Structure 1
Amino acid sequence: MAEVQALAAKVLLAAFFLSFLFGAIAQRTHFCTMGALADAYNMGDTMRLRQWALAAGIAILGFWALAAAGQIDPAKTLYSGSRWIWLSALTGGALFGAGMVLASGCGSKNLVRLGAGNLKSLVVFLVLGLSAFATLKGITGVLRVNTVDRVAFDFGAPALLPVGIASLGGISLHAAGLASALVLGGGLALWALAGRGFRTFDNLLAGIGVGLVIVAAWWVSAHLGYLAEHPETLEETFLATNSGRAEALSFVGPIAYTLDWLLFFSDKSKLLTIGIVSVAGVVTGSFASALLRRQFRWQGFAGTEDVANHLVGAFLMGVGGVTALGCSIGQGLSGLATLSATSFVAVAGIVLGALGGLRWQAWRVERMA
């Protein structure tokens, strides 16, 4: 057990370091899913959307390269269940997408802003965490389980695109995974890099840096933290995870677990996990970057309407992120890297919800004018 605990500490330290890098990169480059969609919708500027596409492309290519090298098992991740919860992913994704527009950014972006001194993001952090925990184990969780979660299709095998291709084409999972990754991941990366004026230091740092952080996070959880047989339970284990399966970066459920850990710190059953240290790492990384670049500034709400928007947005993100099994980073990058069928639907839901939120904001401005 001493060796297991030492290995768990290494996993947590590695997860903190990677999330620290994520926070620092996002603070410097303004990497943001909501911002990327808003720039493209409002101004026709695709620079930040290309950052996101490059990160997603590298995450997909890196994940399946690790799988082909035998470093990780793609069938044992949080996103590889056999049940295709398409309605939960679509509904939750849409709620999350609308919420991140109202709250001026997704969960990860608000952690980055919190590190740079934005007190509005502290309110978002608290409300998002509470609503997420309620959707995991509380009143909205009961509603989730008894409604959208009931609608699902069971494939009888991991609901991953390469699994379907392998079974139909009579080829190995690794070959199908690499082929799919080259087409989808490579396509996203090429589209991003082909943008006029895109290949600047900050854009490449955002896309390549965030993408590699996601890949490394998968390796830490699925390889470094993997035990074929835990000495106490004698069962297969992924150390320091909340789900018991391999995880990468995500920022809705982990914020809820962070609040739970802080509130019940004296309860010895409450242990640090990858998700909890990742939340701390993003805030710390952003704080360090903001200080070094002299961009740390205390910021607050502009008025009552601003408060209301952030409260509603945080609530929608908490409920939606848990329902969709992830956020714009959790499903959008970590989940999409696995080419999960559920992740594709969740990303579509997030985009649709965000576009709806942006259209509502534009209508409000027009109406006031």
Structure 2
Amino acid sequence: MEMLIDRFGEDWLMLASGVLVGLIFGAAAYQSRFCLRAATVEVANRQLGPKLGIWLVAFFAALATVQAALLLRVLDVSAARQLTGTGSLSGAIIGGLLFGCGMILARGCASRLLVLSASGNLRAIVTGLVLTLSAQASLRGVLSPLRETLAGLWTVSGIDFRRLVDPETEVFPVIVAACVIAFLASVAYGLSRRVRAWDLLAAAVVGLAISLGWWLTWLIANASFEVVQVQSVTFTGPSTDTLMALVNESVMPLSFGLGLVPGVFAGAMVVSVLKGEARIQRFETDTPMERYLVGGVLMGFGSMLAGGCAVGAGMAGGSVFALTAWLAVFCMWIGAVATQLSLHRPLAARASPG
């Protein structure tokens, strides 16, 4: 790695790592139809089915492989932003609930919208742009004072308070074994719901892409004399940075996120073309545009408040046992299930006799 850094520099290696991880994630996510929103809909409808199985396999694949790498000491995530500095519990709760609500309204989370955009889905493209602009407004624009106020209501500081599991404890091998068992159980659950083995493998690759992101950026950071952020897959921040760089910068700064977003798009596009599913999809009468736009705004603000999207917090942050990440993804589930139930109860009531 030191030789590669000397030849290409940290920035180019981070960019290349982002592209590689993005290609793998995008292709696998499209093939498996990985989607947190679809899983929450099944739970809300009391139909525990294949979509839940896909999400569980991806989640526990990321969790098990990252924790196993920590146990084997081939990875160190102690410098990850999800575990350092000040974390916001209030932000995780409120932001997670808002993100979950927006995810249902927009029919997909940030990662799913990017993947669908690659197949020609104009609804996903428009909603993704609204999400990105809302996130930027929440980070540095007109919504930032509100975000900072909500985030400051309940905070925790330092890795000792933000990490749920310490790799240095004696019980850590037992925890890693439990993560592996949970992954195997999720695979068994997926098979029991008649999910194709190929799709389950693709879902596992989604989780492995999370682990690969952590590992590649750690390798670069560990060999570099410069400060390099150890990070993995997330979408709201990189999408915002990419859009703002395209709009404001004549020369875009190279980074992991800058490679990740186009990498995911390219990976998903290749698979959609190979499967013959690439086609233009517009807003229709049964897909009201206003619902998508509101969902995009809620997800943009919610993700910045929660410290990440369904993948950035739920998968990447969850895989390193970050307290705020687990709280955020739990609240995303609650917000999504509650929104799904509220949207469909009136329909059920109108359809009932009398």
TM-score (norm 2): 0.90
2:174 is aligned to 179
Aligned counterpart in structure 2 of residue 193 of structure 1, from 163, 166, 187? 187
> Displacement, 1:346?
0.5
Contact between 1:39 and 1:46, CA under 8 Å: does it hold in 2? yes
Judging changes above 3 Å, is the alpha-carbon distance between structure 1 residues 156 and 224 closer, same or farther for their aligned structure 2 residues?
Answer: closer
> Displacement, 1:303?
3.5
Q: Does 1:218 align with 2:221?
A: no
Contact between 2:86 and 2:156, CA under 8 Å: does it hold in 1? yes
Task: Measure, in 2, the Cα distance between the counterparts of 1:324 and 1:41.
Answer: 22
How many residue pairs align between the two structures?
A: 346
- Classify the secondary structure of the residue corresponding to 1:139: coil
More displaced stretch, 153-162 vs 318-327:
153-162
Task: Measure, in 2, the Cα distance between the counterparts of 1:176 and 1:223.
Answer: 26
Return the letter of the residue paired with 1:154: S
Gaps of 5+ in 2: none
Task: Measure, in 2, the Cα distance between the counterparts of 1:30 and 1:129.
Answer: 22
Contact between 2:40 and 2:337, CA under 8 Å: does it hold in 1? yes
Judging changes above 3 Å, is the alpha-carbon distance between structure 1 residues 2 and 53 closer, same or farther for their aligned structure 2 residues?
Answer: closer
Task: Measure, in 2, the Cα distance between the counterparts of 1:62 and 1:98.
Answer: 30
Task: Measure, in 2, the Cα distance between the counterparts of 1:262 and 1:366.
Answer: 46
Return the letter of the residue paired with 1:31: F
Judging changes above 3 Å, is the alpha-carbon distance between structure 1 residues 17 and 74 closer, same or farther for their aligned structure 2 residues?
Answer: closer
Aligned counterpart in structure 2 of residue 326 of structure 1, from 283, 308, 328? 308
Q: Does 1:64 align with 2:72?
A: no
Alignment root-mean-square deviation, CA = 2.3
Return the letter of the residue paired with 2:197: F
Aligned counterpart in structure 2 of residue 291 of structure 1, from 273, 288, 291? 273
More displaced stretch, 97-106 vs 68-77:
68-77
Return the letter of the residue paired with 1:144: R
Task: Measure, in 2, the Cα distance between the counterparts of 1:368 and 1:272.
Answer: 54
Task: Measure, in 1, the Cα distance between the counterparts of 2:119 and 2:287.
Answer: 23
Aligned counterpart in structure 1 of residue 296 of structure 2, from 314, 325, 328? 314
1:52 is aligned to 55
Task: Measure, in 2, the Cα distance between the counterparts of 1:55 and 1:25.
Answer: 10
1:345 is aligned to 327
Task: Measure, in 2, the Cα distance between the counterparts of 1:187 and 1:341.
Answer: 22
- Classify the secondary structure of the residue corresponding to 1:161: coil
Aligned counterpart in structure 2 of residue 282 of structure 1, from 261, 264, 272? 264
Matched ranges for 1:8-27 at <5 A: 8-27=11-30
2:201 is aligned to 205
Gaps of 5+ in 1: 167-171, 231-236, 239-244
Contact between 2:10 and 2:224, CA under 8 Å: does it hold in 1? no
- Classify the secondary structure of the residue corresponding to 1:153: strand
Contact between 1:193 and 1:199, CA under 8 Å: does it hold in 2? no
> Displacement, 1:43?
5.5
Judging changes above 3 Å, is the alpha-carbon distance between structure 1 residues 342 and 259 closer, same or farther for their aligned structure 2 residues?
Answer: same
Cα displacement string for residues 100-150 of structure 1 (whole angstroms, at most 9, x for unaligned residues): 110010011011110001001111111111100111111211111123334
> Displacement, 1:73?
1.9
> Displacement, 1:158?
5.4
Judging changes above 3 Å, is the alpha-carbon distance between structure 1 residues 37 and 304 closer, same or farther for their aligned structure 2 residues?
Answer: closer
Return the letter of the residue paired with 1:179: V
Contact between 1:162 and 1:177, CA under 8 Å: does it hold in 2? yes
Contact between 1:119 and 1:300, CA under 8 Å: does it hold in 2? yes
1:234 is aligned to none
